[in-house]
Chains A and B, each alone.
Chain A
Amino acid sequence: MIQQPEPKRDVLARRESIVAGLRALLPETGVIADALRLKPYETDGLPAYRQLPLADAVVLGLMRMNQILDIDYADRCATVQAGVTNIGISQAVQERGFFYAPDPSSQLACMIGGNVAMNSGGAHCLRYGVTANNLLGLKIVTVEGEIVEIGGAHLDAAGYDWLGLITGSEGQLVLVTEVTVRILRAAEGARAMLAAFRSNEVAGACVDAIISSGIIPVALEFMDRPAIHACEAFAHAGYPLDAEAMLIIEVEGSVAEQDALLDRLREICARHDPISMKVSSSPEESAAIWKGRKGAFGAIGRISPDYLCMDGVIPTSRLPDVLRRIGEMSEEYGLKVANIFHAGDGNLHPLIMFDANDPDSFARAERFGADVLKLCVEVGGCLTGEHGVGVEKRDLMPVQFSPTDLDQQRRIKEAFDPQWLLNPSKVFPLTSPPALAHAA
């Protein structure tokens, strides 16, 4: 279990001086009144505790840096401060028919700085890519306090790909204060369909058939039976309750183009013995379909107040085996699980339900989760597709990386942050010696 350390006396003394320092810096606002309350800010509260400082650290909250600085439709980019929410960017440009593509389910709350730090994805990243694919420039602050601009409004800055390395680095390398993103003109329209199947295997085979046909839908989402039931109870989207597995498939274009694509998709689904197929007939119906999917975590929360959301990635063709194994583990550990899957790109979110009042149940949930992630690596995938390593997965890193790989990553981390001051105790396992001698 991840514990937040009890502050020691000398730590508290340091906090007093930090608070005094902050008061001197910001005499008017008096950010923090009480040293004991110098604690992590919370944005989205995902149980990976990503913004939880485990060492004696100051938490820098950037949510007040929430200004949109520039929108340039001719050059199709926007520059915003790190604390602007993901949805805030799309909302700022939607009057002109533009949007910011990566759309994590947490988009109402999460901030673009956090998206950069985590390289967040979304339901539409099969078509539009993840955060790293939609950035042009960053303003960063190095651990030495230097402010540097990387990239700009142009593509493919020369030199090492700092944009690519910093994106997804989980705050290990630098602080991000400003972000220049690409904004895109939305397609003429979009429509979703649902297809319900008798087994996970058949639904998985249908995903393969769709991709093999040459159609890349803008979104291709999979839910298993427990997820369908939880989400339907929450969103009333007309999800098929008799199905073992369901696909949400979305296409874009003019109405005629949507019709043509949906016809082909219906044909492919029909070859997989579907229980039912339903094409959304209105924007409201499409919105309800997405409400169920995007609210999935909350929906699970309504049936089990405590759950672990895992985030492994697998080669898409391994879906049926992996779901079967997860089902077996669910029996072994005596814990229920619901599976949500970005089927087009192999990103699997098993939601493991447990009871936080029962320490044994929580311990089992953690072991179950770790086993699922090890399984993902074993079948050729990885530990995390979009939520990051943080604290939760740092000790699993050796499952995916050799000691040489990890040492190399640590040396790169040290090139930016020689004293291991940024987000200490995250991402890298605490066990192995060389670099982490500094971090303790």
Chain B
Amino acid sequence: MSGAVAPQDEAGVAAAVAEAFAAGAPLEIMGAGSKRGLLRPVQAARALTTRALTGITLYSPHELVISARAGTPLAEIEAAVAEHGQQIIAEPPDLGPLLGSEAARTLGQTLGGVVATNLSGPRRVAWGAMRDHVLGVRAVNGRGEVLHSGGRVLKNVTGLDLCKLLSGSHGTLAVITEITLKVLPAPPATGTVVLDGLSAEQGVAALAAALGSPYGVSAAAYLPSGAVGQLAGLAASATLARIEDIASSVTYRTTRLAETLEAFGRPRILDDATSRALWRSVRDAVPLRNGNGNAALWRVSVRPSAGPAVAQAVSAAFDARWFLDWGGGLVWIAGPATEAAHTAVVAAAQAGGGTWMLLRAPDGLRAAATVIPEEPAALARITRAVKAALDPKGILNPGRMYVGV
């Protein structure tokens, strides 16, 4: 966004927010802006971007920690840790192309944006979400005060955990200025066991067997035949279970896992290069990329065994494209940007006892829809009280998550 304030340092962020606080003037908070289309549109005359707050401030590979300013491109951090054979554990997706964001293409998503939205990739099912690995944050609250929580050590229960509260709060509670993450060694090898042609129910049952096996499956997805498209190595619907480890263990574990899954079909094993490309596509929801640019996009999270029913329900309601990650529990859905389609997604998520998030839609639908579930009254009260505790004048990304918050 042109005209966005782009402070050069944390003090600059604090000054800009303090000024907005004094004036009671809402600010749209963003990093590179690749996720501005998530959830509800923000009503704010001015924007503040963390884009100029860049740079890795600490990296201690043998202590498994990295700190960087919030505007640092995620790719820069990924490259820095890769140089030491390490990785960001939650495998955050790059949704730029899917969300059609020009900003993302040129700038790349920022670390702050990934943490503020708590978006995690396929490894989430086995190794935790983005928020699970946030060890420390520095941030500026809605009064313009600098806060910190957590630190640079791997364990910390001192005081309330604002790292988790701010992760996934979509910039509505504070502007995150610096983040410390736990990182881990990247396993040197990857392999995938694939079962072709199963129905979604069979596929998810096979994934439950895979995730319930002792072989340390690190990702488990189901792609219906419509989602397989041009993905290398796949033909019919694909049920996929990934192993990441040292090479000899990948060989051993994929073999044993394939034996375990023989009850469901004829398992094949995909090699390292094919596996990596495939899981990157799953991570970034590539199967949903093509199609009508106006189409809406949702992520529904339910208990894994309920995933197929969600897919079936939305497919019955509209022309849906979908696939399942997280053992069946994460349902990615693309469809028409209509209230009827959104209502069907909501109903399916509720029937599955889960949650949903509207990732992309035209502003009209975004403003009208419950983009995430409404909370029961008691929690909604606490949500408003916590919002007021951090952002008393409601100037940070007002309305992003809920009307009036």
| A408 contacts the other chain (CB 8 A) | yes
Across-interface contacts of B161 in A (CB, < 8 A): 119, 132, 164-165, 167-169
Whether the Cβ atoms of B353 and A155 lie closer than 8 Å is: no
Selecting from B125-133, B265-273, B282-290, the interface stretch reads B125-133
Task: Decide yes or no whether B46 CB sits under 8 A from chain A.
Answer: no
Cα–Cα, bound, A384→B153 (Å): 11
B155-A389 in contact (CB<8A)? no
Asked if B230 is at the interface of the complex by the 8 Å CB criterion, the answer is no
- CB-based nearest A residue for B85: A214
Q: Is the interface of A mostly helix, strand, loop or mixed?
A: loop
Q: How does the 8 Å CB contact mask read for A242-271 relative to B, with 1 for contact and 0 for none?
A: 000000000001101100100000000000
- Surface stretch bound by A, among B70-78, B143-151, B192-200: B143-151
Contact of B383 among A133, A142, A159, A216 (CB under 8 A): A159
A415 touches B131 (CB 8 A): no
Q: Which residues of chain B have C-beta atoms less than 8 A from A381's C-beta? A: 151, 153
Hey, which chain B residues are within 8 Å of A427, CB to CB?
Answer: 159
Contact B353 A385 (CB under 8 A): no
1/0 per residue, CB under 8 A from B, across A361-400: the answer is 0000000000000000000111111111100010001001
Residue of B nearest to A126 (CB): B154
**Which of A74, A156, A393 is in CB contact (< 8 Å) with B305?**
A74
State whether the Cβ of B165 lies closer than 8 Å to any Cβ in chain A: yes
Stretch at the interface among A5-13, A60-68, A184-192: A184-192
* Residues A119 and B157 in contact, CB atoms below 8 Å apart: yes
Q: At the interface, yes or no: B34 with Cβ under 8 Å from chain A?
A: no
Are A214 and B159 within 8 A (Cβ)?
Answer: no
Residues of A within 8 A of B354 (CB): 152, 154
**For residue A165, which residues in chain B have a CB less than 8 angstroms away from its CB?**
160-162, 164-165
Check B158–A155 contact: CB distance below 8 A: no
Contact indicator A412/B252 (Cβ below 8 Å) = no
Query: Is there contact, CB below 8 Å, between A385 and B386?
Result: no
Number of interface residues of A (CB under 8 A): 94
The answer to whether the Cβ of A359 comes within 8 Å of any Cβ in the partner chain is: no
Bound state CA distance, A401 and B148, in angstroms? 8
With CB as the reference atom, state the residue of chain A lying closest to B357: A158
B151 nearest CB across to chain A (Å): 5
Instruction: Decide if A75 is an interface residue (CB 8 Å cutoff).
Output: yes
Q: From residue 106 to 144 of chain B, which have CB atoms closer than 8 A to chain A?
A: 118, 120, 124-125, 128-129, 131-132, 141
Taking CB atoms, residues of chain A closer than 8 Å to B160 are 165, 168-169, 172-173, 409, 412-413
The reply to whether the CB of A333 lies closer than 8 angstroms to some CB of chain B is: no
> Is B54 on the interface with A (CB-CB < 8 A)?
no
Is B105's beta carbon under 8 Å from chain A? no
B382 touches A416 (CB 8 A): yes
Q: Which residues of A contact B128 (CB under 8 A)?
A: 129, 133
Chain A residues near B327: list those with CB within 8 A: 76
B216 CB within 8 Å of chain A: yes
Residues on A with beta carbons closer than 8 Å to the beta carbon of B164: 132, 161, 163-165, 167
Q: Which residues of A contact B (CB under 8 A)?
A: 72-77, 97-98, 118-119, 121, 125-126, 129-130, 132-133, 142, 144, 146, 148-150, 152-165, 167-169, 172-173, 185-188, 208, 211-212, 214-216, 253-254, 256-257, 260, 313-317, 342, 344-347, 380-389, 393, 397, 400-402, 404-406, 408-409, 411-416, 427
Q: List 6 A-B residue pairs with CB atoms under 8 Å apart, sorted by A's residue number.
A: A161-B165, A165-B161, A172-B160, A313-B154, A346-B153, A397-B159
